[in-house]
Amino acid sequence: MQAGRTLAFAAAFAGTWLAAFAAERTVTSPDGRIVFKVDAEGRPSYSVSFDGREAIGRSALGFAFADEAPMAEGFEQIGEAVVRNGLVESWKPVVRNRHADVRLSYNSLKLAMREKTGERRKMDLEVRAFDGGVAFRYTLYGARVLGERIVTDELTEFRVPATSFAWVGHNAGGSFAGSQETRFKKTPVREIRSDEWCLAPFLVEVDRSTYVALLDAYLDNFPGRCFAWRDGAITTRLVPSPREGEKGAKARFDCRFDTPWRVILVGDNPGRFIESEIVQALNPPCAIEDTSWIRPGMSAWDHWWSGEVKMEMPVVKEYIDFAAKQGWPYMLVDWQWYGPFNTPDADITRTAPQIDMPELLAYAKERGVRLWLWLYSSDVTRNDAFEEAFALYAKWGVAGVKIDFMDRHDREIVNWYRRIAAAAAKNRLMLDFHGAYAPDGIERTYPNLLTREGVLGEEFSKFSRSITPDHNVTLAFTRMLAGPMDYTPGGFLNVAASDFKMQSPTLVMNTRAAELAKFVVYESPWMCFCDHPRNVLGQPGSEFVAEVPTVWDDTRFLGGYPGEWIAVARRSGDKWYLGVLNGNEAREVELTAPFLSGEGRCRYWSDGEKPTDVVRGEERVPATRGKIRLAAGGGFAAVWEAEGR
DSSP codes of every residue in 428-486: T-EEEESS-PPP-SHHHH-TTEEEE--S--GGGGGT-S---HHHHHHHHHTGGGGS---
Report d(CA 310, CA 146) in Å as an integer.
57
Answer yes or no: is pLDDT of 18 > 60: no
The neighbour count for residue 262, using CB atoms within 10 Å, is 22
- Taking the domains of the chain in order of start, what are their residue ranges? 3-281, 287-454, 459-524+548-645
- CA dist 366 and 467 (Å) reads 37
Q: How many helices (H) and strands (E) does the chain have?
A: 12, 36
- Is 166 within 8 Å of 189 (Cβ atoms)? yes
DSSP state letter for 508: B
Band the pLDDT of 309: cuts 50, 70, 90. Answer: confident
Examine the pLDDT at 33 and tell me if it is beyond 60.
Answer: yes
Q: What SS3 class is residue 271?
A: helix
CB 292 within 8 A of CB 100: no
190: how many CB neighbours lie within 10 A of its CB? 12
User: Please, what is the average pLDDT of the chain?
Assistant: 93
pLDDT, position 8: 36
Angle in degrees, CA 404, 408, 412, rounded to 5: 105
Q: Do domains 3-281 and 287-454 have the same CATH topology?
A: no
The whole-angstrom separation of Cα 173 and Cα 538 is 42
What's the rounded Cα separation, in Å, for the pair 189 and 204? 8
Distance CA 465, CA 585 (A): 17
For residue 637, give the H/E element and its range: strand 635-642
**What is the helix, strand, coil percentage profile of the chain, to 5?**
20, 35, 45
Q: Is 173:455 a contact under the CB 8 Å cutoff?
A: no
Taking the C-alpha atoms of residue 157 and residue 36, their distance in angstroms, rounded to an integer, is: 14
The one-letter amino acid code at 634 reads G
- CA 104 and chain centroid, separation: 19
- Per residue in 138-150, pLDDT tens? 999 998 777 789 9
Percent of the chain past pLDDT 90, that is, above it, reads 89
Contact between 155 and 135 under an 8 Å Cβ cutoff? The reply is no
User: Percentage of residues in the chain with pLDDT exceeding 70?
Assistant: 94
The pLDDT of residue 157 is above 80:
yes
d(CA 395, CA 30) in angstroms, rounded, equals: 50
What single string gives the DSSP state of each residue in 401-415? Answer: EEEE-----SHHHHH
Distance CA 133, CA 94 (A): 24
Question: Is the bond leading into 201 cis (omega within 30 degrees of zero)?
Answer: yes
Q: What is the DSSP letter of 598?
A: S
What phi and psi values does residue 143 have, to the nearest 5 degrees?
-75, 165
What distance in Å separates the CA atoms of residue 502 and residue 32, rounded to the nearest whole number? 51
- The model's pLDDT over 238-285, given as tens digits with 9 standing for 90+, comes to 999 887 666 789 999 999 999 999 999 999 999 999 999 999 999 999
Q: Are 372 and 299 in contact (CB under 8 A)?
A: yes
11 pLDDT more than 60 = no
Residue 125: pLDDT over 80: yes
557 half-sphere exposure, CB direction, 13 A CA radius: 19
**Nearest one of 144, 155, 148 to 119, comparing CA atoms:** 144
Mean pLDDT to the nearest integer, 46-75: 96
pTM for the whole structure:
0.94
Residue 494 confidence (pLDDT) above 60:
yes
Among 444, 163, 484, 408, CA closest to 286 = 444
What is the predicted pLDDT for the residue at 147? 77
Architecture of domain 287-454: Alpha-Beta Barrel (3.20)
Identity of the residue numbered 538: G
Distance CA 634, CA 639 (A): 18
644 pLDDT exceeds 80?
no
Main-chain phi, psi angles of 210, to 5 degrees: -140, 120
Which residue, 468, 461, 420, is CA-closest to 584?
A: 468
Q: Can you give the pLDDT at residue 93?
A: 98
Average pLDDT over residues 404-409: 97
CA–CA dist 485, 432 (Å, integer): 10
Is pLDDT of 116 > 70? yes
Least confident range of 78-82, 479-483, 563-567: 78-82
Dist. CA 373–CA 28, nearest whole Å: 47
pLDDT of residue 3: 40
CB 459 within 8 A of CB 502: no
Which CATH number is 459-524+548-645's, of 3.90.1330.10, 3.20.20.480, 3.20.20.70, 3.10.450.50? 3.20.20.70
- Does CATH place domain 3-281 in 2.70.98.10? yes
Average pLDDT over residues 204-219: 98
Residue 626 has a pLDDT of: 82
Q: Which residues contact 521 (CB under 8 A, 6 or more apart)?
A: 476, 566, 568, 579, 580, 581
**Using N-to-C axis directions, what is the helix angle for 357-366 and 385-396, rounded to 10°?**
40
Task: Name the band, by pLDDT with cuts 50, 70 and 90, for residue 20.
Answer: very low
Residue 30 preceded by cis peptide, ω within 30: no
